[in-house]
Structure 1
Amino acid sequence: MSGRFSNIELNPRKLWVRTRFNYDKLPTADSQNSSPLFGSPFAKSWKSRNPWTDRRLRPRLSLSRMIMLLVTTLLLVSMIGSTIFKKHRWHGDRYKEERKKYHWEHYPRLRGFWNGVRTLVPPSEWVSEQTFAKSAETGGPEDWMKQKYPAISKDNKEPPMDPIPFNPYKFDSEAYLKDHHEVNPCYIDEAETIEAPDIYAYPGIPQNQTAPFFGSLEEIGMNDKVCFERFGRLGPYGYSYPREEGGLGMSGKSEAAGANKIWATEKKVDYRDVSWASAQRRCYDKNKHRFVKNETVPAEGEEAPPPKKKVPRHAYILRTWTGYKYSDYQILTIRAMINELSIKSGGEYDVHFLLHVKDDSIPIWSSEEVYRKTVEDNLPKEFWNMATLWSEQQMRMYYPEPFPNNVYNHAKAPIHSVYRSAHFALQWFSQVKPDYDYYWNWEMDLRFSGHYYEFNNKVGEWAKQQPRKGMWERASRYYIPELHGSWRNFTEMVEEEIYTSDEKPVWGPPKFDNTGMLDPLDEVIPPRPYLADDYEWGVGEEADIITFNPIFDPAKTNWVFRDDVTGYDLELPEPPRRCAIITVARLSKRLLDIMHRETYLMKHHMFPEMWPPTVAFHHGLKAVYAPHAVYFDHNWPLEIVDGVFNRPPKPTDSVFGWGEHNQLGNSFYYNAGFSSEWWRRWLGSRENDQGGADEEETGTGRLCMKSTLFHPVKFEKGSE
């Protein structure tokens, strides 16, 4: 046996492998003349000596010999077939036996997610599932041992409280009007007869509902004392009334006790002829005074009034592509985004579709007719005129080759492919539409159960108040409130870890060997030494990048794309870099401008999830990981969670690499498996033989959850 195969263990499980052998190249009867064997002198001599080539020389078979041959053949086929079947069955059984559970799958399943609206209690009486389970084990306070929600009656399935409008806008408050211009109300139609709808929440929480492991609504400043169910959240956007009335009629088989109470105060909107692009434009025009500097000139002899604060403008960008199918659930989500972020906010946001045209041969930049047809073929009518088209070919012209000195292209894809350079289109968008202060990069498989304006606004305000001291170090860790305590405690803990580590804290733009970098801005140079700063620098400064997963150092992990670095001197060490998994983020115009200049001037480039955080890091910009609520479907011990996610013993254990299986059971990561299940159960779907309309009807009712961000949700369905 040759050296190539001499060390192979003859393991039956390893024999069933796919090879790269091309069976099409085997010679056939039709290809004998071209075969190196047939047609050779050897072949001729072999043919002349072979009795089977001459019919007259072939031996004749007697009847008995034919029967014996047939019986022998059948026995051999039977034996071979039996052996193969046994091997297959043994292989399958062994595979099942060897399928070991991940360590976290051994922890108890959490079930409080599935408690419905009939178990609602006032927030002051709510006890989380984890606390309830712990008290059962340790003999905690007896009050915690009791499920305090009202007894569920077969005769009365109404929730114990009524839904109320959820209004996070404070535009009419005295405190707001003191510093800001008044907000003119916006309407959905041009005649200003259709008011922008409210959404509804229950002023309570299902008893023993599961608490998040990461993040805190209270810390971010969001309302954590309400929950949202599908009728109050999606009903005003057409979920619960028929198409004949302008809705989508999706709730016919859904458990709906008490759901109609929202229509006591809410009017149904006929969405059949709505143009959201026109509604957004009108809303901005009515409120332009909020977004430009106050230029009021006082009359002679009068004192100038104090200037009003300029309100920043946001582009909320949905990253979509040609051929994308918009389900009714997706349409509900997009209507909610536009209404809550743009129309109800008086034009603070504009929702855009950044639509990737996959076919490079379509001349989208040279024909208005082709451009319009491409939009109309790939977006529902109500969203026409909200799209900006782009293609990879367009990006090749905008950011032309060469991009030299790549360290390692693990994806084996061209640099202009969307897989490696999704940020190219975002950078370009910020240059052709430069009138925004912030750009939200939002993916189509994200879902949110709460109110969009509350979430986006509070995340931005919270990030603005974060100091720069310890900023990068805090952003690299998951915040676990039940373990770390308050955010102040968490901040002090991180500071102590910095002092006891061998690494210097980040303070301003990092210094590293390079042969070409843009100069940092003057305002990012620290005003005082690190130790002299009392968490003052950066407070009140808007964040240049807000991410929704930690911003980690990929060099300390085995994350697969950590070396996809281009344009830097290969004779020098790789530049320091940072990364946040999932490209979802809020980016400032300042950051996008620098990313654009780094790309076209310096030919610098990195994998999309690494590029914006790294540019912010290199240029000393303000970066924040927003600790939104993330849930787990197993009840991990908190010390184990902290050890696995925040301080893995070696790079290969990092949850941003080979250890990412630890993310499967949570509600927010690129491969989170629990996110889709929970979201569809909230919509009324039956998942894994659990939930659905019948169980909701006979059990605790439809689900009601706090504000939660989900990713990924690849498809949706409800009660069927």
Structure 2
Amino acid sequence: MSSRFNLKTPKMFIKTRFNYEKLPGGASDSQSSSPIRMGSWSKNYRSPAWANRLQRPRLSFARLVMLAIAALMLVSMLATGIYKKRRWNDNERKGDDRKLYHWERYPRLKGLFGGVRTLVKYEDWVSEQDLVKYSQGPSPEDNIKQKWPPKSDKDHREPPMDPVAFNPYPDWTSASYLKNHDEVKTCYLDDEEKIDLPDIYAYPGIPQNQTAPFFGSYEELGINEKVCFDRFGRLGPYGYSYGRDQGGFDLATKFEKAGAEKIWSYEPKIDYRHVNWGRAQKRCLAKNEIRFQKSETKSETKSEQEEPAKNAERAEPVKQKIKRHAYVLRTWTGYKYSETQILTIRAMINELSLKSGGEYDVHFLLHVKDDSIPIWSSEEVYQKTIQDNLPEEFWGMATLWSEQQMRMYYPEPFPNNVYNHAKAPVHSVYRSAHFAMQWFSQVHPEYDFYWNWEMDLRLSGHYYEFNTRIGDWARNQPRKGMWERSSRYYIPALHGSWKNFTEMVEEEMYNSDEKPVWGPPKFENTGMLPSPPETTPPSTYLADDYEWGVGEDADIVTFNPIFDPAKTNWVFRDDVSGYDLELPEPPRRCAIITVSRLSKRLLDLMHRETYLMKHHMFPEMWPSTVAFHHGLKAVYAPHAVYFDHNWPLESIDGVFNHPPKPTDSVFGWGEHNQLGNSFYFNAGFSSELWRRWLGGREYNQGGPTEEENGSGRMCLRPTLFHPVKHENLAT
């Protein structure tokens, strides 16, 4: 390794291809002279003194620190409640002497709440941020050509364009597809194959001045950014809007719906009262099983060696086999399924599994919280537990597990815990949710990938497009700079293109004291499993031209950055067991929220590390750390994340990507900065945005009357929401 990556050598400036002049905006838009603070943030991490203090909480002083952290975590949870209670009504803030967070002083963004009556083609769309930015100039008419949708009939109540069926799938019947793949057999909802699979509908435009996401990029991930989904086109085909006597949920009677009925001129209404989704998945896989069979290697005979030309003429082309995915919904006994959530689960099964010809299987991994229920000794009890805790249409899709089962599968002891902040047993789901996923991958080894999906996630876009495009994007990412890029939020309005962002991260690393991650890291330990041989870098870091890893499927895909918890005061960073306490803690990586896509290779290593080595870490730290230790491919997918306040670009980059000290990290005491966005564990804006999209009234804003008298119902581009804790709509 070059001396420029030696922590003991002076920092060297290395000229790279990154060019700050390529970034959008300029000095006039900044609060500082440079849009990126080059290298300055890394200086705060040079001295190991603070890191050692944070890493040794078993010392008496550190225990005091941990008590302070616990208190601040409580404050953070209270802040979420304050956010919801105090939020957004300026009139209500009169007399409120609560000290505002710095980001609450930024102007509010309201463009996401625009409705379908203001739809324009993507080419005519101007984001809310650009409208604000350019309309404040001396000649706004010269900077921005505002275009409004044409007037429509019925007193402007009808949207100016019609919804269209949204189809993100390959053309399964095309000659180019069939040349390399087996035929995709059509699947149906019923045993008699008379009920066709429904389509969903999107508007081919965006509400004018809709807010742009601060984080992530549709274009980079290959997700269609030129369409938006309203609740009727997205959920209507799954029973949202039509009557219960027709097999729907009749949820739209109180809400604005001008133009929504047009989808029924293309789409039949399906009676879902007798659909058995588990059986439909199994039938679909049986019809398409040849697409997923592993290729068998046939040994060459002497005659084949002597007659290659003749054999070539006889041989049929080898078709490319499709990798399979288990889409695992993590649920538990006593969980209550709202009708809206049932609609979203129907969408998952239809869009991921049935319409893809069995590429995905949707599973419920159901945690039986009462260890006294004998689910493993009685098939009758097993089935009754499912029937008592799942809607009937999903009964054939559940796998049960319990903490008691995990105690037997991964028996104690798990020695040498550094600090158990949760004060909970190692087998409690809070500290070892990954145990069940590891076990599931062992009893269901037929899948290549396993999606760890939480019940409080929602998606306004199409599941197959979202999940598949992210997987394709991750496969094309090079390993060089992979961990460093994945530790940061991508802000296109500031960073420019992904190429420019890649070069910026490289330059920041060169100008810091950080060594790049290149293959499995070396650290002191008293026993580790061997890493897969293919994870050894084929060349030096400097010799690689962003080639290694391209075309390799990612072993873990996360939806928040993968950060080094030792450089933060994240409260669970030291929940580490099984390593020698006389040695420094092992290096670690973490991604907040356990939502992720995990490869079979990674889950096998996690499983073996657990039962062979007795290694264990907190659930949000364990998968990323195992991938890190063994040199696997790990990426953070930069999906679109929206904010409710108009942060200055340099400020949001500084707070989220370059905290001046560890206590400022947004993955610790600084988590209040996440309250106003659409995706984080404590994001307050996500629930509001989702329920407003459904037509509900939140914080005295929105709802049927406001939609009817304003711009109509909301229409959002594909957005992943977390958390959504309930869907009780106020009207």
> How far off is 1:308 after superposition?
1.2
Of 373, 377, 381 in structure 1, the residue corresponding to residue 388 of structure 2 is 377
- Verify the 8 A CA contact 1:135 1:145 in the aligned structure 2: no
Of 560, 568, 573 in structure 2, the residue corresponding to residue 562 of structure 1 is 573
Q: Which residue of 2 aligns with 1:13?
A: none
Q: Equivalents in 2 of 1:719, 1:153: separation in Å?
A: 30
* Cα gap change, 1:174 to 1:717, in 2 (>3 Å): farther
Q: Which residue of 1 aligns with 2:323?
A: 312
Larger CA Rg, structure 1 vs 2: 1
Q: Which residue of 1 aligns with 2:146?
A: 146
Amino acid corresponding to residue 201 of structure 1 in structure 2 = A
Q: Which residue of 1 aligns with 2:226?
A: 225
Q: Give yes or no for the alignment of 1:418 onto 2:429.
A: yes
Q: Give yes or no for the alignment of 1:155 onto 2:166.
A: no
- Verify the 8 A CA contact 1:132 1:145 in the aligned structure 2: no
- Verify the 8 A CA contact 1:558 1:652 in the aligned structure 2: yes
* Cα gap change, 1:427 to 1:701, in 2 (>3 Å): same
> How far off is 1:293 after superposition?
3.4
Partner SS state of residue 439, structure 1: strand
> How far off is 1:294 after superposition?
4.9
> How far off is 1:144 after superposition?
2.3
Q: Which has the higher contact order (CA 8 A, sep 6+)?
A: 2
Q: Equivalents in 2 of 1:583, 1:434: separation in Å?
A: 21
Partner SS state of residue 426, structure 2: coil
Per-residue CA deviation, residues 463-493 of structure 1 (Å, 9 max, x unaligned), is 0000000000000000000000000000000
Of 623, 626, 643 in structure 2, the residue corresponding to residue 612 of structure 1 is 623
- Verify the 8 A CA contact 2:698 2:730 in the aligned structure 1: no
Once the two structures are overlaid, the 10-residue window that deviates more, 373-382 or 286-295, is 286-295
Per-residue CA deviation, residues 426-456 of structure 1 (Å, 9 max, x unaligned), is 0000001110000000000000000000000
Of 536, 541, 551 in structure 2, the residue corresponding to residue 530 of structure 1 is 541
- Verify the 8 A CA contact 2:367 2:400 in the aligned structure 1: yes
Per-residue CA deviation, residues 556-611 of structure 1 (Å, 9 max, x unaligned), is 00000000000000000000000000000000000000000000000000000000
- Verify the 8 A CA contact 1:186 1:343 in the aligned structure 2: yes
Q: Which residue of 1 aligns with 2:128?
A: 129
Q: Which residue of 2 aligns with 1:357?
A: 368
Partner SS state of residue 169, structure 2: coil
Q: Which residue of 1 aligns with 2:204?
A: 203
Amino acid corresponding to residue 602 of structure 1 in structure 2 = M
Q: Equivalents in 2 of 1:492, 1:468: separation in Å?
A: 14
Q: Which residue of 1 aligns with 2:106?
A: 107
Of 652, 661, 686 in structure 2, the residue corresponding to residue 675 of structure 1 is 686
> How far off is 1:179 after superposition?
1.8
> How far off is 1:515 after superposition?
0.3
Q: TM-score, normalized by length of structure 1? A: 0.85
Partner SS state of residue 272, structure 2: coil
Q: Equivalents in 2 of 1:336, 1:155: separation in Å?
A: 34
Of 329, 335, 348 in structure 1, the residue corresponding to residue 346 of structure 2 is 335
Amino acid corresponding to residue 163 of structure 2 in structure 1 = P
- Verify the 8 A CA contact 1:152 1:700 in the aligned structure 2: no
Q: Which residue of 2 aligns with 1:442?
A: 453
Q: Equivalents in 1 of 2:154, 2:431: separation in Å?
A: 56
Q: TM-score, normalized by length of structure 2? A: 0.84
Q: Give yes or no for the alignment of 1:623 onto 2:622.
A: no
Once the two structures are overlaid, the 10-residue window that deviates more, 701-710 or 492-501, is 492-501
Q: Give yes or no for the alignment of 1:457 onto 2:468.
A: yes
Q: Equivalents in 1 of 2:504, 2:616: separation in Å?
A: 35
Q: 1:242-253 counterparts in 2 under 5 A? A: 242-253=243-254
- Verify the 8 A CA contact 2:124 2:147 in the aligned structure 1: no
> How far off is 1:142 after superposition?
3.5
Per-residue CA deviation, residues 374-404 of structure 1 (Å, 9 max, x unaligned), is 0000000000020000010110010000110
Q: Which residue of 1 aligns with 2:670?
A: 659
Partner SS state of residue 371, structure 1: helix
Q: Equivalents in 2 of 1:647, 1:318: separation in Å?
A: 34
Once the two structures are overlaid, the 10-residue window that deviates more, 633-642 or 177-186, is 177-186
* Cα gap change, 1:141 to 1:294, in 2 (>3 Å): farther
* Cα gap change, 1:463 to 1:123, in 2 (>3 Å): same
Q: Which residue of 2 aligns with 1:577?
A: 588
> How far off is 1:201 after superposition?
0.1
Per-residue CA deviation, residues 156-177 of structure 1 (Å, 9 max, x unaligned), is 4100000000000112334322
C-alpha RMSD over aligned residues: 1.8
Q: Equivalents in 1 of 2:286, 2:185: separation in Å?
A: 10
Q: Which residue of 1 aligns with 2:280?
A: 279
Q: Equivalents in 2 of 1:578, 1:294: separation in Å?
A: 36
- Verify the 8 A CA contact 1:220 1:627 in the aligned structure 2: yes
Once the two structures are overlaid, the 10-residue window that deviates more, 261-270 or 207-216, is 261-270
Of 645, 659, 662 in structure 2, the residue corresponding to residue 634 of structure 1 is 645
Amino acid corresponding to residue 161 of structure 2 in structure 1 = M
Per-residue CA deviation, residues 286-344 of structure 1 (Å, 9 max, x unaligned), is 00111013569999783323311110000000000000001101100100000000000
Q: Equivalents in 2 of 1:187, 1:154: separation in Å?
A: 39
> How far off is 1:663 after superposition?
0.2
Q: Which residue of 1 aligns with 2:658?
A: 647
Q: Equivalents in 1 of 2:197, 2:143: separation in Å?
A: 43
- Verify the 8 A CA contact 1:292 1:310 in the aligned structure 2: yes
> How far off is 1:361 after superposition?
0.4
- Verify the 8 A CA contact 1:112 1:208 in the aligned structure 2: yes
> How far off is 1:178 after superposition?
2.5
Amino acid corresponding to residue 523 of structure 1 in structure 2 = E
Q: Give yes or no for the alignment of 1:427 onto 2:428.
A: no
* Cα gap change, 1:521 to 1:141, in 2 (>3 Å): farther
Of 544, 557, 560 in structure 1, the residue corresponding to residue 555 of structure 2 is 544
Q: Which residue of 2 aligns with 1:165?
A: 165
Q: Equivalents in 2 of 1:561, 1:520: separation in Å?
A: 26
Q: Which residue of 1 aligns with 2:183?
A: 182
Amino acid corresponding to residue 260 of structure 1 in structure 2 = E
Aligned length: 628
Amino acid corresponding to residue 159 of structure 2 in structure 1 = P
Q: Equivalents in 2 of 1:604, 1:320: separation in Å?
A: 26
Partner SS state of residue 546, structure 1: strand
Q: Equivalents in 2 of 1:542, 1:590: separation in Å?
A: 11
Partner SS state of residue 337, structure 2: coil
Partner SS state of residue 302, structure 1: helix
Amino acid corresponding to residue 624 of structure 1 in structure 2 = V
Q: Equivalents in 1 of 2:201, 2:429: separation in Å?
A: 38
Q: 1:318-329 counterparts in 2 under 5 A? A: 318-329=329-340
Q: Equivalents in 2 of 1:285, 1:384: separation in Å?
A: 19
- Verify the 8 A CA contact 1:685 1:692 in the aligned structure 2: yes
Partner SS state of residue 273, structure 2: coil
Q: 1:449-488 counterparts in 2 under 5 A? A: 449-488=460-499
Amino acid corresponding to residue 609 of structure 1 in structure 2 = E
Give 5+ residue unaligned stretches, structure 1.
Answer: 1-94
Amino acid corresponding to residue 534 of structure 1 in structure 2 = D
- Verify the 8 A CA contact 1:254 1:719 in the aligned structure 2: no
Q: 1:34-53 counterparts in 2 under 5 A? A: none
Q: Equivalents in 2 of 1:527, 1:174: separation in Å?
A: 37
Q: Equivalents in 2 of 1:156, 1:550: separation in Å?
A: 43
- Verify the 8 A CA contact 2:135 2:143 in the aligned structure 1: no
Q: Equivalents in 2 of 1:358, 1:717: separation in Å?
A: 26
- Verify the 8 A CA contact 2:420 2:574 in the aligned structure 1: yes
* Cα gap change, 1:242 to 1:530, in 2 (>3 Å): same
Q: Which residue of 2 aligns with 1:509?
A: 520
- Verify the 8 A CA contact 1:406 1:566 in the aligned structure 2: yes
Amino acid corresponding to residue 157 of structure 1 in structure 2 = R
- Verify the 8 A CA contact 1:316 1:441 in the aligned structure 2: yes
Per-residue CA deviation, residues 479-531 of structure 1 (Å, 9 max, x unaligned), is 00000000000000011111111111000000000001001111000000000
Once the two structures are overlaid, the 10-residue window that deviates more, 235-244 or 131-140, is 131-140
Partner SS state of residue 155, structure 2: coil
